[in-house]
């Protein structure tokens, strides 16, 4: 389907910046403390998934069943470590082409938004110095339903005042592509052509859009 793009909505983790490695370090540290291992392959299952659901998957892998109070303590402990890691991030960790593509869209009058599940998104944008590249930021602090629910993207469209059909989502997670489709938006998949096969277009990274007219 050919659409006019009036707004571009970007996922953060895996699209603008590679934070998966920091999530992995923190989850692995927690798993090791709990007495089991957590591999990079296991970590793939957590991409695009909310913090609470990520913990549930981790506990499933370790074969543990815990009460809610313990689970929220563990999620908080993981987040403290994660925040410690991302507090040292620098602008060179922005993925290739991401800042340039955002600037290119803005110079053409296309609105830009962040649509992320992460509650740490404001800290990451601030550390990378790219908050001003987004007209609107919708993150895990503003929404209650995790992707594949379309809430995060619909909220971004609403705040931008652009109809969903004129928004294009850029996502690296299968759940995010599904969320874009539920929102009635176009979906550009970034990364794995197999897991992202439901996308309208798949590209290896935003750098691929710098030279073409999209
Ligand atoms: C998503 C990540 O963007 O945010 C997930 O892909 C992460 O891996 C989720 O669990 C929630 O992030 P946070 O920073 O609120 O724990
Ligand atoms: Mg992502």
Choose one of 56, 140, 179 to mutate for the ligand 1 pocket test, by most ligand atoms within 8 angstroms of C-beta.
140
Cα-Cα-Cα-Cα torsion 17, 23, 26, 30, nearest 10 degrees, comes to 180
Q: Which residues contact 101 (CB under 8 A, 6 or more apart)?
A: 206, 207, 209, 210
The verdict on the CB of residue 13 being under 6 Å from ligand 1 is: yes
pTM summary value: 0.93
Which residue reads 């970590």 in tokens?
A: 43
For the Cβ of 78 lying below 6 angstroms from any atom of ligand 1, the answer is no
Supply the DSSP string of the chain, one letter for each residue.
Answer: -----SEEEE-SBTTTB--HHHHHHHHHHHHHHHT----HHHHHTTTT--HHHHHHHHHHHHT----HHHHHHHHHHHHHHHHHHHTT--GGGBPTTHHHHHHHHHHTT-EEEEE-S-TTHHHHHHHHT-GGG-SEEE-TTT-SS-TTSTHHHHHHHHHHT--GGGEEEEESSHHHHHHHHHTT-EEEEES-TTTTTTSSEEES-GGGGSSS--
Give, using CA atoms, the residue closest to atom 16 of ligand 1.
51
Question: Going residue by residue through the chain (214 aa), what tens digit of pLDDT does each one get?
Answer: 556 899 999 999 999 999 999 999 999 999 999 999 999 999 988 988 899 999 999 999 999 999 999 999 999 999 999 999 999 999 999 999 999 999 999 999 999 999 999 999 999 999 999 999 999 999 999 999 989 999 999 999 999 999 999 999 999 999 999 999 999 999 999 999 998 999 999 999 999 998 755 5
Contact 208, 188 (CB under 8 A): no
Spatial separation of the C-alpha atoms in residues 54 and 51, rounded to whole Å: 5
CA of 156 to the centre of ligand 2 (A): 16
Ligand 1 atom nearest residue 172's Cα: 6
Atom of ligand 1 at shortest distance to CA of 139? 15
Residue with CA closest to ligand 1 atom 4: 118
């Amino acid at each position: 389907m050919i659409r006019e793009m009036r707004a571009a909505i970007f996922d953060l983790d895996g699209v603008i910046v590679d934070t998966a490695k920091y999530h992995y370090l923190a989850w692995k540290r927690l798993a090791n403390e709990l007495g089991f291992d957590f591999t990079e392959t296991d970590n793939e299952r957590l991409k695009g998934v909310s913090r609470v659901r990520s913990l549930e998957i981790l506990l499933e892998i370790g074969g543990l069943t815990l009460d809610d109070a313990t689970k929220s303590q563990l999620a908080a402990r993981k987040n403290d470590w994660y925040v410690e890691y991302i507090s040292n991030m620098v602008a060179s960790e922005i993925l290739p082409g991401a800042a340039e593509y955002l600037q290119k869209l803005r110079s053409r009058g296309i609105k830009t938004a962040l649509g992320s599940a992460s509650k740490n998104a404001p800290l990451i944008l601030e550390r990378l110095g790219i908050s001003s590249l987004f007209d609107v930021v919708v993150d895990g602090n503003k929404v209650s339903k995790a992707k594949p629910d379309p809430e995060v993207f619909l909220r971004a469209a609403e705040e931008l005042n652009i109809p969903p059909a004129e928004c294009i989502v850029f996502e690296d997670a299968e759940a995010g592509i599904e969320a874009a489709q539920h929102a009635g938006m176009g979906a550009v998949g970034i990364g794995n052509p197999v897991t992202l096969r439901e996308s309208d277009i798949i590209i290896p990274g935003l750098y691929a859009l710098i030279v073409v007219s999209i």
